[in-house]
Chain A
Amino acid sequence: GENVEQHPSTLSVQEGDSAVIKCTYSDSASNYFPWYKQELGKGPQLIIDIRSNVGEKKDQRIAVTLNKTAKHFSLHITETQPEDSAVYFCAATYGGSARQLTFGSGTQLTVLP
């Protein structure tokens, strides 16, 4: 089955700096890679996703890049703000949908004022 590794497990940045979270996956058949943000006491929420036919996707201050050859994908957050503080999960699956997603272990991002 799929295995997703996520690094780092914790990340602290100064407000206004950039943050990068990296994930690697094992199954070359995986073709859908979403990122979820979990705020304290809440369930995860989708913030951005990318499919294997695309190398990069941006949405305002967040972007995701995918390297299919190396089987890794990354989340980039620019101009970080205190409200970006949360746990971020990467995930991967085949079939192009959210079914049977395999999640990474999560990254606790703290944005220091």
Chain B
Amino acid sequence: EAQVTQNPRYLITVTGKKLTVTCSQNMNHEYMSWYRQDPGLGLRQIYYSMNVEVTDKGDVPEGYKVSRKEKRNFPLILESPSPNQTSLYFCASSLSGGELFFGEGSRLTVL
């Protein structure tokens, strides 16, 4: 089954404790992206990647890092999480910039 898989789905952590949200897709898509969803703000892009070893900032990249060492994986790294990074995170992928396929989301709470 074609899918985008995120882990963990739910996480509660404390300020400053590094964490990684993994994202993996099995559709051989070149393009992958991370979004955060906050009430009243819609989906805002954090980082995106056009292909392996190619990443770029989206609209809200501060406090996040990403890497794209393999085509299927695009982890989101929070080196020192802060409460304002409490949000619902979505990973998405697409073939050559076409329809976006989203994962089921990762709800992160930073205390």
Spell out A's residues near B (CB within 8 Å).
Answer: 1, 4, 6, 9, 34, 36, 41-46, 49, 89, 95, 97-106
- Minimal beta-carbon separation of A52 from chain B (angstroms): 16
Would you call B42 and A104 a contact (CB within 8 A)? yes
Residues on A with C-beta less than 8 A from B100 are 34, 36, 44, 46, 98, 101
Would you call B31 and A98 a contact (CB within 8 A)? yes
Spell out B's residues near A (CB within 8 Å).
Answer: 4, 31, 35, 40-45, 48, 50, 58-59, 90, 92, 94, 96-100, 102-105
Q: Which residue of B lies closest to A4 (CB)?
A: B42
* A42-B104, A105-B40 as given contacts; A98 in contact with B4, CB under 8 Å: no
**Chain A contact residues: over half helix, strand or loop, or mixed?**
loop
Would you call A105 and B97 a contact (CB within 8 A)? no
Further contacts, 19 of them, CB under 8 A, given A34-B99, A41-B105, A43-B4: A4-B42, A6-B42, A36-B100, A42-B104, A43-B104, A43-B105, A44-B90, A46-B100, A97-B94, A97-B98, A98-B94, A99-B48, A99-B94, A100-B45, A103-B42, A103-B43, A105-B40, A105-B41, A105-B42
